[in-house]
Chain A
Amino acid sequence: MADFEAIRRQFPILDQQVHGRPLVYLDSAATAQKPQAVIDAESGFYESINAGVHRGAHELAARSTVAFEDARAAMARFVGASAEEGHEELVVTAGATAGLNLLATAFGYASMGRGPAAARRFALGPGDEIVVSQAEHHSVLLPFQELAARTGATLTWLALDDEGRIRTDTADEVITDRTKVVAMTHVGNVTGAITDLAPVVRRAHEVGAVFVLDACQSVPHLPVDFHALDVDFAAFSAHKMYGPTGAGFLYGRRELLEALPPAWFGGSMVELAWMDKPAQYMDPPARFEAGTQPVAQVVAAGVAAQWLQSIGMDAVAGHEQALTSELLRLGDIPGVRILGPMSATARIGTVAFEVEGVHPHDVGQYIDAQGIAIRVGHHCAQPVHRHFGVYASNRASLGVYNTMDDVHALLDAVAGVRPFFGVGGTRAE
């Protein structure tokens, strides 16, 4: 049984006062805090290993290359991807947004006839369809909306139900023989709802489409195995899973990565370059890793993966689910509406809510004054908010370090919001 109090003590940033109160950090869906092991891994890399990877013959270059590739392998084992040399399935990116843009850009090049012959399977044109959902973060919606605009394909989407869950029961109707790409989130970054992926992935494959998963909000909180989920591509960020900013990974089934044209060009991704002949590009993952990579961040991300694995993702999910059940009592506070599933089943501890009569910016300011960090705004997902008929919301999101005390501090603070602003009664003095 994991000792979550001891785990919390591994996060130095949490040991501080904000506005004269102990910090309560409930914004892990935006970015998670870092345990000492990750902080040490990043600074330790600069203290004793730092050098360019995959080039140079000196000792530091060798050490840095080994550390970089070991981190890739550790991450692959953590998310159920191949770690085998020569069959790597994780591409290093700057983050999930970079990974999704890389993929959409590569699909666009495939549509222009670039890449190996096998890249034709990614080609899009007028009459083809790209399917997303209304729950998507802008970093899924916009790259694929732009891809549709560039290629003449049509963007369609799965709608949401009253609780903000993706209507996966409509997959058979929305995903058609003309669908080439389905891109969807594993866990809604506003609603916290876990998508029932199986019927969507099955339908996508039935019509010969590739399935792209946004795994940003699932990898830090749930056991995730890309092979078991049978997805074709998946993007996630290190910084939401207790790793550093500036690094992320794009998963691709090996045969698909081999078929995919490169999206960015430069050093370290080409085997042979000439002035007067087309270049010959390297095999994946190097083909997609032009330029100097965020090596220290990737090394520390690998440590974050191992750190989570040592706790066990079932234990992490269990800890957070117990807190989520309590956090959902937000919905019992007068004037508070939860924008997402009301029960702790098939959802994570990311809970968006509206306080009737008080704008999220004002709610956030009041909550912040109590030393509690939550996110306010549209969380880069405007269409989800439109679904709920609001412009913006407040969002509390749990991490592995949160406690029942944190949740109760938030519940007490939210209960004070409407009295403070004089809404639903007179102003509290």
Chain B
Amino acid sequence: MMPMAQDDGLEQMYQEVILEASKHPSGRVAFAPDLTDEAVSAGESTVMAPHEACAAGESHQFNPTCGDEATIHVDVSDAVPHRIERVVWDGHGCSISQASLSIMVDLVEGRTVDEAMDLFRTFHALMESRGAGLAEDAKADELGDAIVFQGVSKYPMRIKCALLGWEGLKDSMARALAQA
């Protein structure tokens, strides 16, 4: 059929980089329980904060409005400066959340925790820009492919999708360091 005409916002949001990353995401491995499985959920009927199920260096993130979730796992070096040796995740969600997780993994693996936190703050600023982007070009360059989420920042309902993985990264690094 003939595709319908799109408004520009839709094209800016769903850039090819995002669709591609969401279909073939980096860092995604299966290690968390599948909560659509009734057998699994029946066994978890007691009230438990999601974090109680997480190991050190892991953070479970959940978006209750759409049910998207991701468990992010980081291995951080004992040596100082602490460095992200490995970051993997498991979960499910919309193309924005999945692509953001994927691009984040490519961006932060091998970086120090401090560098990753700088990127976290820069990405947060981008997502809070309401479509305007970042004032400093240098900052925008640091984000690499993650800059494509500028189009998403125009949509208040979707910002949380793009931030899901990053919030998990920040929390899992903190939890890893608390164990170190």
With contacts A391-B67, A392-B67 taken as known, whether A365 is within 8 angstroms of B155 at the C-beta atoms is yes
* Interface residue? B93 (CB, 8 A): yes
Q: Quick check: which of A23-31, A241-249, A409-417 contacts chain B, the rest being far away?
A: A409-417
Q: Which of B6-14, B75-83, B100-108, B116-124 contacts A (4 or more CB under 8 A)?
A: B6-14
Which residues of chain B have C-beta atoms less than 8 A from A427's C-beta? 16, 19
Within 8 A of A (CB), among B119-172: 155, 158, 161
CA distance A378 to B35 in the complex (A): 13
Question: Does A422 reach chain B (CB closer than 8 Å)?
Answer: yes
Q: How many residues of A contact B (CB 8 A)?
A: 33
Q: Is A376 an interface residue when CB atoms closer than 8 A count as contact?
A: yes
- Complex interface residues of chain A between 384 and 429 (CB less than 8 A to chain B): 385-387, 389-392, 412-413, 415-416, 419-422, 427-429
User: Using Cβ atoms and an 8 Å threshold, which residues of chain A touch B96?
Assistant: 361-362
Q: Which of B16-64 contact A (CB under 8 A)?
A: 16, 19, 23, 35-38, 41
Question: Is the CB of A11 closer than 8 A to any CB of chain B?
Answer: no
Residue of A nearest to B93 (CB): A359
Asked if A419 and B3 sit within 8 Å, CB to CB, the answer is yes
Say yes or no for A377: interface residue by CB 8 A criterion. Answer: yes
A19-B5 Cα distance, complex, nearest whole Å: 12
Contact of A370 among B4, B19, B67 (CB under 8 A): B4
Contact yes or no, A19 B7, CB < 8 A: yes
B179 at the interface (CB under 8 A from A): no
User: A13 in the interface, Cβ–Cβ < 8 Å?
Assistant: no
Number of interface residues of B (CB under 8 A): 29
State whether B10 touches A365 (Cβ < 8 A). Answer: yes
Decide yes or no whether A369 CB sits under 8 A from chain B.
Answer: yes
Contact partner, B92, options A19, A20, A376, A391, Cβ 8 Å: A391
Cα(A369)–Cα(B7), bound, Å: 6
Q: Is A156 an interface residue (CB 8 A)?
A: no
CA distance A412 to B4 in the complex (A): 8
Q: Is the C-beta of B112 less than 8 angstroms from some C-beta in chain A?
A: no
Give the complex CA separation of A419 and B41 in angstroms. Answer: 34
> Taking each of A369, A386, A412, A421, which has the highest tally of chain B beta carbons within 10 Å of its own beta carbon?
A369
A415 engages B1 (CB within 8 Å): yes
With the chains together, A415 CA to B37 CA distance in Å? 29
Separation in Å of the A163 CB from the closest CB of chain B?
17
- Known contacts being A378-B67, A419-B1, is A20 close to B7, with CB within 8 Å? yes
Is there an interface contact between A362 and B94, defined as CB atoms closer than 8 Å?
yes
Q: Is A306 an interface residue (CB 8 A)?
A: no
Residues of A within 8 A of B19 (CB): 421-422, 427
Q: Is the CB of B36 within 8 A of A365?
A: no
Give the contacting residue for B66; candidates A20, A360, A421; CB below 8 A.
Answer: A360
With A359-B95, A362-B94, A427-B19 known, 19 other A-B pairs at CB within 8 A are A358-B95, A359-B68, A359-B93, A362-B14, A365-B155, A366-B10, A377-B66, A385-B67, A386-B35, A386-B36, A386-B37, A386-B38, A390-B36, A391-B35, A391-B36, A392-B67, A416-B1, A422-B23, A428-B3
Q: Which 9 A-B pairs have the closest CB atoms?
A: A361-B94, A428-B3, A359-B94, A391-B67, A369-B10, A392-B67, A377-B66, A416-B4, A362-B94
Selected A-B contacts with CB under 8 Å, 14 pairs: A19-B7, A360-B66, A361-B94, A365-B10, A365-B158, A369-B7, A370-B4, A382-B67, A386-B35, A392-B66, A392-B67, A420-B3, A420-B6, A428-B3
**B interface list, Cβ under 8 A from A:** 1, 3-4, 6-7, 9-10, 13-14, 16, 19, 23, 35-38, 41, 65-68, 92-96, 155, 158, 161
